[in-house]
Amino acid sequence: MKPIRRVALFGKTGSAEVVEALVSLLDYLQGRGLAVLIEEGIAADLGMVAAAASLESIAANADVAIVLGGDGTLLNAGRRLAAHGVPLVGINQGRLGFMTDIARAEMFSAIDRLLDGEFTADRRLMLDARVLRGGREVFATRALNDVVVNKGDLGRMIEIETRVDGEFLYVLRADGMIVATPTGSTAYALSANGPILHPAVPGIALVPLCPHGLTHRPITIRDDCTIEIIPVGAHEARIHCDGQSTFDLKCGDVVTVTRSAHAVTLLHPPGYSYFAMLREKLHWSATPHRP
């Protein structure tokens, strides 16, 4: 890791606990002689609007971004910074924390080790999602976890045609379809019985949501494939990206999902283990069986 001299702070807005932790972290970082850039959204919560830094300023100047909150807060920061190559460190003040690996109680000791260059980098692939209507792009965004096409406000199934690299896969009658990265395989896709993909696996999971045909099973395809999802029924559909960016679809719209040219770099503390994280978060057996 290159030396860290400028740190950007992101946080979950509207949380008194996050504000308290950010104030302590800000004092600690400045006490270590570091320049600190406070993201505009959280600066208002801190009462430091005058000191707020724009995303452009953070992208141009920050050596690392520290995110306090849950996975949703980190997803938001990751999408915004991915194109600029700023690595992220997550401090968990949410619930599960699959990506925010540092506990609040260990924040200061972890920051010391980060500044000492002991963290390791982990690049996570992202997805680019586009919606074409009549051949014209009407929506585009990026996702770190997943792109989901599901039913709109109606409590009915939708009908969607699915293609991979231009080849017809099937017409699916279901509540929807999840297109998940390895990072997102432990999110919404996991609750729909999708496969868990190790972050190093170059794959994308297609996970049907409550399919009407019980033989429609999740499958994993190469990460360089192009996925097309086309609503063909009369009922409303909607696209969700990381559960944070949405767009209403019409019959005949073409949702195209591809691997993004950009990636998110997560920095993990010494001793980080993906499998240990799974054991902890999913409450698997903590110790191996030895007869």
Please say if the pLDDT value at position 40 is more than 70.
yes
Share of the chain above pLDDT 90, in %: 84
Please say if the pLDDT value at position 235 is more than 90.
no
C-alpha–C-alpha distance, residues 179 and 174, integer Å: 14
What's residue 187's pLDDT?
Answer: 95
What's residue 236's pLDDT?
Answer: 85
Active site residue 71: yes
**Band of pLDDT at residue 149, cut at 50, 70 and 90:** very high
C-alpha pair distances (Å), 150 with each of 130, 137, 162, 174, 194: 15, 20, 13, 8, 16
* Domains in the chain: ranges and CATH: 6-119+269-282 (3.40.50.10330), 127-261 (2.60.200.30)
**Band of pLDDT at residue 197, cut at 50, 70 and 90:** very high
Q: What is the mean pLDDT of residues 200-227?
A: 96
Q: Select, from the ranges 42-46, 49-53, 187-191, the one with the highest average predicted confidence (pLDDT).
A: 187-191
Please say if the pLDDT value at position 288 is more than 80.
no
Q: What is the mean pLDDT of residues 187-215?
A: 95
**Band of pLDDT at residue 99, cut at 50, 70 and 90:** confident
C-alpha–C-alpha distance, residues 3 and 113, integer Å: 12
Residue at 111: amino acid letter: I
What's residue 285's pLDDT?
Answer: 78
The catalytically annotated residue of 27, 45, 71, 116 is 71
Cα separation of the two ends of the chain = 42
What's residue 19's pLDDT?
Answer: 93
What's residue 83's pLDDT?
Answer: 93
Please say if the pLDDT value at position 143 is more than 80.
yes
Is the pLDDT higher at 96 or at 252?
A: 252
Record the tokens describing residue 250, joined without a space: 């019409």
Please say if the pLDDT value at position 94 is more than 80.
no
**Band of pLDDT at residue 286, cut at 50, 70 and 90:** low
What's residue 118's pLDDT?
Answer: 95
Q: What is the mean pLDDT of residues 187-213?
A: 96
Residues 124/183, Cβ–Cβ less than 8 Å: yes
Q: What is the mean pLDDT of residues 259-280?
A: 94
Please say if the pLDDT value at position 153 is more than 90.
no
C-alpha–C-alpha distance, residues 109 and 237, integer Å: 47
Please say if the pLDDT value at position 253 is more than 80.
yes
What's residue 120's pLDDT?
Answer: 95
